[in-house]
C-alpha cells in the first residue's frame, strides 16, 4: 500500500521512499513523468537519507536495490553511473570493478570516478586510465628534473637504457619487475645512483618495461636475460642520451590501448640517498600529492622541507594547519551497465 506523506503522490518503478532534502518529508513520483519532471524530482532528493529510511523498513538489500532503480530512472542519461550512497553499502565483490570504489584501483571495469567541488559546485569525471597515466607522467618528469641539476654538476656518470620483454603475451606476473630490480641493486650496490621504469602495453598486448639507470662511470650492467636476472623473455641494453628518455614513452598512443593486467604497477622512480640535496627530494615528493594540496604547500615558503601528514578520515596537516580537499566523492562510472 502506498503511503501519502505529503502533496507528492506519484510512483516510479519499484516501491521506494524518496526523502526531500529541503523538508525531510517523503514523496513519490510517477513513471509516466516527463524527463523534465524527473530532473525536477531528482534535484529534490536526499538519496542517502532515502536509503537510510528504507533500510529500516525493508532491510538493506531490498532498500538498496529499490533505490538504485529509482535513481537510474531519475538519471536516465547516466546508466553506467553507480552513486556513492550505493557504493558505501556494497560488499567489495559486488562493485562493478571488484574494488573499494573510492579510488582509481586498477580494475578494467571501472571507467572513472565522479567528484564534485564543494566550493564551486562543479562536477568532474576523472577517467581512471588517464588519471593513472597522468600520475605516471608527473612522477617520471619530476624524477628527471630532480636529477638534471645533479648530472649537470657531475661528469663521471653513465646513463643506461634497458628494455625487458616477455616471451608470451600472458607471461606477466606482478613481482617480476620488482625481483629484477632488487637483484640489479644488489649487483651494482653504490654504483647505482638512480633508476626509474615505466610499463607499457605493446601492440600485441604484452607488457614490457623501459628502464633507465644512472650509474657511476665505468659501471658494468649485466645483460638481464643472459645473466638470468630476467628469466621471462628478452632484454636489450643501450646508452641513453638523457634522463628524459622515459618521457618519450609516456606519449605513445598505445599506452591507452588494451587492458592492463589486474595489479600491474605502471612506474617506479628512485634516487639513492645523498645523491641530491634533501630539498630537491622534497620538491620531487610534491609530485605524489593531489594538485590542490601541493599548491597549498608551496604557498608556505618558510616551511619548505617540512613533512606533511595525511589524516585518518581525510585531509592533510602541514605547517601546523589542517587542509581538507575541496572535492567530494560522488560515484563511479563503469564500462557497462
List the one residue out of 310, 189, 309, 208 whose CA is nearest residue 255. Answer: 208
Q: What is the DSSP string of 175-197?
A: THHHHHHHHHHHHHGGGEEEEEE
Residue ranges per domain, the chain?
A: 18-77, 129-289
Confidence grade of residue 335 (pLDDT, cut at 50, 70, 90)? low
Residue ranges of E strands in 91-191: 110-117, 123-127, 157-166
265 has pLDDT over 70 = yes
Question: Which pLDDT score is estimated for 9?
Answer: 35
192 has pLDDT over 90 = yes
SS3 state at 316: strand
List the one residue out of 142, 104, 136, 168 whose CA is nearest residue 249. Answer: 136
Architecture of domain 129-289: 3-Layer(aba) Sandwich (3.40)
Confidence grade of residue 181 (pLDDT, cut at 50, 70, 90)? very high
Q: What is the pLDDT averaged over residues 92-119?
A: 58
Q: What is the pLDDT averaged over residues 151-157?
A: 75
Question: Which pLDDT score is estimated for 326?
Answer: 94
Tell me how far the alpha carbon of residue 109 is from its chain's centroid.
14
Q: What is the pTM of this model?
A: 0.77
Question: Which pLDDT score is estimated for 28?
Answer: 60
Burial status of residue 79 (CB atoms within 10 A of its CB: 0-12, 13-18, 19 or more) = exposed
Q: What is the pLDDT averaged over residues 59-84?
A: 84
Q: How far apart are the first and last CA of the chain?
A: 31
Say what percent of the chain tops pLDDT 70.
82
Amino acid at each position: 500500500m502506498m503511503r501519502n506523506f505529503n502533496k507528492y503522490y506519484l510512483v516510479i518503478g519499484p516501491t521506494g521512499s524518496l526523502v526531500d532534502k529541503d523538508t525531510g518529508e517523503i514523496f513519490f513520483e510517477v513513471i509516466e513523468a516527463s524527463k523534465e519532471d524527473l530532473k525536477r524530482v531528482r534535484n529534490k532528493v536526499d538519496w542517502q537519507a532515502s536509503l537510510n529510511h528504507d533500510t529500516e523498513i525493508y532491510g538493506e538489500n531490498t532498500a538498496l536495490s529499490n533505490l538504485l532503480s529509482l535513481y537510474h530512472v531519475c538519471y536516465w542519461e547516466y546508466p553506467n553511473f553507480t552513486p556513492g550512497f550505493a557504493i558505501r553499502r556494497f560488499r567489495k565483490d559486488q562493485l562493478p570493478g571488484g574494488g573499494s570504489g573510492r579510488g582509481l584501483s586498477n580494475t578494467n571495469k571501472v571507467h572513472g570516478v565522479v567528484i564534485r567541488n564543494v566550493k564551486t559546485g562543479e562536477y568532474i569525471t576523472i577517467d581512471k586510465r588517464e588519471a593513472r597515466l597522468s600520475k605516471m607522467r608527473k612522477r617520471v618528469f619530476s624524477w628527471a628534473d630532480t636529477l638534471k641539476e645533479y648530472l649537470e654538476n657531475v661528469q663521471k656518470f653513465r646513463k643506461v637504457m634497458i628494455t625487458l620483454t616477455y616471451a608470451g603475451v600472458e607471461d606477466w606476473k606482478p613481482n617480476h619487475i620488482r625481483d629484477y630490480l632488487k637483484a640489479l641493486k644488489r649487483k651494482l650496490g653504490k654504483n647505482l645512483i638512480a633508476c626509474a621504469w615505466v610499463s607499457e602495453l605493446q601492440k600485441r598486448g604484452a607488457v614490457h618495461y623501459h628502464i633507465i639507470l644512472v650509474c657511476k662511470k665505468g659501471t658494468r650492467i649485466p645483460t638481464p636475460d643472459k645473466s638470468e636476472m630476467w628469466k621471462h623473455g628478452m632484454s636489450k641494453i643501450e646508452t641513453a642520451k638523457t634522463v628524459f628518455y622515459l618521457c618519450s614513452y609516456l606519449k605513445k598512443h598505445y599506452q591507452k590501448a588494451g587492458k592492463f593486467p589486474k595489479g600491474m604497477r605502471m612506474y617506479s622512480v628512485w634516487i639513492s640517498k645523498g645523491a641530491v640535496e634533501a630539498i630537491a627530494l622534497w620538491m620531487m615528493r610534491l609530485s605524489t600529492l593531489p594538485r590542490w594540496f601541493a599548491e597549498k604547500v608551496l604557498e608556505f615558503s618558510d616551511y619548505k622541507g617540512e613533512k606533511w601528514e595525511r589524516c585518518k578520515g581525510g585531509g592533510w596537516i602541514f605547517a601546523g594547519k589542517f587542509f581538507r580537499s575541496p572535492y567530494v566523492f560522488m560515484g563511479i562510472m563503469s564500462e557497462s551497465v
